[in-house]
Structure 1
C-alpha cells in the first residue's frame, strides 16, 4: 500500500506444482513466501520485499481451481501481467516464481480464473529500506465496511481529521462484483477498491482536505449507493 512507482521485472518464471522451467532457463527461487487462497480470499504472508528472486508458494484451500497472477503497474492501474501460475487445484500447492525490481505489484488469486481476482498490494524497496517502507504503510485506524444488497454499512457517523490515514476493510456480501470508491469533497476518487462477489479487499486512504467525503458503491446492473462521512 505504498506510493512508489513500479519498475520493470528483471526476470520471470511462473510454474505450477510439480512443473519446472527448463535447465537452460532456471527459475529464480530466493525467498519462499506462503500464499493462502480460498474462493473469496488471498492471504500473502508479507507485503514488503527487498529486490531479488522470490517464490510465492500458493496453497489453495478453496473449492475451485485458482489461477494466481502477479500484476505490475501500467498507466493508472495494475493491469500488466508479469507472471502467472497455472491453475492450482483445490487442496494442492503451486509456485509463482519471479525476480522483482523495486516498485509496487499486486498478487491476485482468481478462483476459476474469473474476474479481477482478490488482490493484495506488495511493495519492493531497495536493500535496507524495507523498514522505512513499512513505516509508510502505517495507518491511523481501521474502518470495516460491508456492501450489501441494501447499501453500505459500517461507516455510520465516521468523522476523520485532514491527513488521517484510514484502512478501509471492505466485505462484499452480495453475489455480484462491487467497487467501492472513496470520493473527496470535489467528488474525485481518492481510492478505488474492487471486491469480488462474497469477497474482501482493503486499501489505506490518506484523507486530504476537510469537507464532506463520500463512499460510493456500484456494480453492474445495480444502482450506485452513497454514504457520506466528514473530514474536519
Structure 2
C-alpha cells in the first residue's frame, strides 16, 4: 500500500482519571506533546489520544505572554478546566500536565492571558487510533467521504484491515456544519471530525479490532446518517 512521507505521532498514556494539574504529589509526566502558541494560533501537534496523563509542552512564539488551558465539555460548551499553564512569556516554554479520560476536549491558547483564546479540539479514545496536525501524514489509504443533503457516500461497502491507517477526507456540501464520528465495534468513539458548511476536513485514523465499525454523521436539526465500515 502507498504511504505519505510524514510522521504520525502515537500517544500512549497510563492513567484513566480526569484531574487538573497542580496536585501536591506530582504525577508522572507521561508523553510530551508539543504545542506552539502565537498571538493568533494554537497548534497542537497531535489531536487524538489514548486515555491517561499527557504533558503538553508549550512554546510561546508570540509577542505577548500566553496562558494555555485544557477544557472538558460541560453541557454544550467546553468550560471545565482540567489543566493549565497560566503564564508562558514570549520566547519561553512551559509544561501543562493533564490526565484525560475518554471524550472530547479543547486546548485554548490565550494571548495576553485574556478571553476565550484560540482553541484546538482534541479527542481521547481507548481504541487504537492516531491523528496528526501535520500537513502531510503517513497513511495506507485515502477514503473520500461526501456529505450531501441527508446522504453519506464513500464508505458503504468499504473493507479495511486491522491496523490499517485511513486518511478520512470529508467534503461537506450541505448548508450546515456536520460532525463525523468513527465508532469501533463496541460503539466507542474513535475519531471526531467537524466539517463546516461547504467546507472540508480530514484526519488519519489507525483501525483497531476486526468487526463492523460505524461512520456516523450528525448535524443540528437534521437526522443522523450512518454507514458501515467492515474491518477484517
Structure 2-normalised TM-score? 0.53
1:205 and 2:195 correspond: yes
Give the aligned CA root-mean-square deviation in angstroms: 3.5
> Counterpart of 2:115?
115
Provide the C-alpha distance between the structure 1 equivalents of 2:143 and 2:113, rounded to a whole number of angstroms.
Answer: 32
Q: 1:35 to 1:71 in 2, by over 3 A?
A: same
Question: Which piece of structure 1 moves more, 38-47 or 108-117?
Answer: 108-117
Provide the C-alpha distance between the structure 2 equivalents of 1:139 and 1:64, rounded to a whole number of angstroms.
Answer: 41
SS at match of 1:115: coil
> Counterpart of 2:29?
29
Deviations 1:33-56 (A, max 9, x none): 000000001111101111111100
Q: 1:205 to 1:29 in 2, by over 3 A?
A: same
- In the TM superposition, residue 97 of structure 1 has moved relative to its aligned partner by 0.1
Select which of 3, 7, 21 maps to 1:13: 21
1:53 and 2:53 correspond: yes
Q: 1:108 to 1:167 in 2, by over 3 A?
A: farther
SS at match of 1:11: coil
Is the 2:20–2:81 contact (alpha carbons within 8 Å) kept by the matching residues of 1? Answer: no
> Counterpart of 2:64?
64
Deviations 1:179-210 (A, max 9, x none): xxx853xxxx658xxxxxxxxxxx72287xxx
Q: 1:86 to 1:27 in 2, by over 3 A?
A: farther
> Counterpart of 2:152?
163
Provide the C-alpha distance between the structure 2 equivalents of 1:86 and 1:45, rounded to a whole number of angstroms.
Answer: 20
- In the TM superposition, residue 115 of structure 1 has moved relative to its aligned partner by 2.0
> Counterpart of 2:73?
73
- In the TM superposition, residue 10 of structure 1 has moved relative to its aligned partner by 2.4
- What does 1:187-226 align with in structure 2 at a 5 Å threshold? 190=178, 204-205=194-195
Provide the C-alpha distance between the structure 1 equivalents of 2:143 and 2:116, rounded to a whole number of angstroms.
Answer: 26
Q: 1:89 to 1:103 in 2, by over 3 A?
A: same
Q: 1:163 to 1:113 in 2, by over 3 A?
A: farther
Q: 1:131 to 1:190 in 2, by over 3 A?
A: closer
Structure 1-normalised TM-score? 0.53
SS at match of 2:96: strand
Gaps of 5+ in 2: 1-15, 132-136, 154-169, 180-192, 200-232
- In the TM superposition, residue 95 of structure 1 has moved relative to its aligned partner by 0.6
Provide the C-alpha distance between the structure 1 equivalents of 2:178 and 2:34, rounded to a whole number of angstroms.
Answer: 31
